[in-house]
Amino acid sequence: MRTLIFLLTLFLSLLPADAASDRSPNIIVVFMDDMGYADIGPFGAKAYPTPNFDRMAKEGRKFTDFYVTQAVCSASRAGLLTGCYNVRVGILGALGPRNTHGINASEVTLAEICKQKGYATACFGKWHLGHHKKFLPKQHGFDEYFGIPYSNDMWPYHPGVRHLPMAERLKRWPHLPLIDGNAIINPALTGRDQEDITTQLTERTVSFIEKNKDRPFFVYLPHPMVHVPLYVSDRFKGKSKAGLFGDVMMEVDWSMGQILDTLRKHELDKNTLVIFTSDNGPWLSYGDHAGSAAPLREGKGTMFDGGCRESTLMWWPGTIPAGSECNTPAMTIDILPTVAELIGAKLPDHKIDGKSIVNLLTGTNAKSPHEAYYFYYGSQLQAVRMGKWKLHFPHGYRTMAGKPGGKDGIPTRYSQSKIGLALFDLEKDIGEKTDVKDQHPAVVNRIKTLADAIRADLGDRGAKGKGQREPGRL
């Protein structure tokens, strides 16, 4: 027996690198845009069916307390792809077509982590980390890229300029391009073009999986939907019986089904980790063209949980326990180090903020690797979550204040409000309604101490921290 084991070990050591890499798990990250906490069936959606997300939850794991770094597009994507709080890497807010900065070449992306181990890598969808060539995915570890460089409303058909002549519109918003690799293949997307985009991204993803089924691969699929303006293919128009938003969600659910079915078809399902989440909560001012964050407070553009806590599913049959649920806080910054551990890749030499949550994926234990998570909006530290507690520091925020949003893609105005120092017990008060700071002074003081330390590292309200890095610039 010992001789047999020795010979087997020797044989495996002599296998070519490609053969060894076949045993590494494939990674797929699906990143929605502006999807609310309650917009899929496993988290409460009832107005339209989402059978494939239901299937992911049944066969995988729900993460009920999963966060993004900031409740806005570019900042959120920076956190996911670098494993860092976005303020560390200098990406704030939502980059637009006039911006001349983006992700720095010195940052190590999730794709570059995977490239260490010979993975095929692709990004299909909305990038939003700089639209100039040096910032695009192909320069940051992705073998393939197909999609739009920033949000699908950053174009001359934006509701705020549609009343103007086209010449005036173009002074505010240039045409929205479609990019393949580094080349613009359509310089001016139309609404009809956007109707096909979910289908195109899905087909690209399926094709990439099939092309690379015999080697490890990483796919990043950041859907432009359900960010307004909403568009859906003819196949799904009116299908939900719940308006355009429901139609779009059904098409995204179909997209996920195509991916899962492809993995099963090629017997890749037991060797593929699929992560589904969103970049921030719903854009509530758009009313019937926005989703729901219920039972969470507020939505996109705020650091209440409705803006930054995302409905999240992770699926890996045979590794992730089926039909399970994780209530331990986690964040997108943890995805990069988790993947690095799973595939045996080296972490970046510079500081990152995320930590591996392999234990949360596998259900081996529910202990968080973090004492706390920190919530900035812009450059301001607005809140800290420590265990079940979330402490808000005084700040202003936008709110619908109980008013309904707009209709048919035209938003209504937000009101402005303020919150003082406030502590919430999220286990008892998921909607962040009842301030309990006076009953728990020790908790408040501990979080304040943690906040002081992160301010020294990442700054606050324009004051620079010693650990901040510059974005890339032209």
Active site residues: 73, 128
- Cα(141)–Cα(319) distance, integer angstroms: 27
Distance between start and end Cα atoms, the chain: 63
Taking Cα atoms as reference points, which of 39, 73, 29, 67 lies closest to residue 300? 73
Residue 127 CB-half CA count within 13 A: 33
Both tokens of 324, joined, read 């399970």
Helix axes 51-59, 243-265, angle to 10 degrees: 50
